[in-house]
Structure 1
Amino acid sequence: MEGKTKIAVVVRDDLAGWQRLNVTAFLVSGVAARFPETVGADYQDASGQGYLPMFGQPVLVYAAGADALRAAHQKAVDRNLAVAVYTEELFATDNDDDNRAAVRAVPTEKLALTGIAVHGSRNAVDKALKGLSLHP
Structure 2
Amino acid sequence: MKFVIAVFSAAHMPSSRRALLFAQALLANRHEIIRLFFYQDGAYNASNNIVVPKNEQDTALQWREFVSAHQLDGVVCITAALRRGMLNTEEATRYQRRAVNLDTTWILSGLGQLHDAVQTADRLICFRGS
TM-score w.r.t. length of structure 2: 0.30
Whichever structure has more strand as a proportion of its residues is 1
TM-score w.r.t. length of structure 1: 0.29
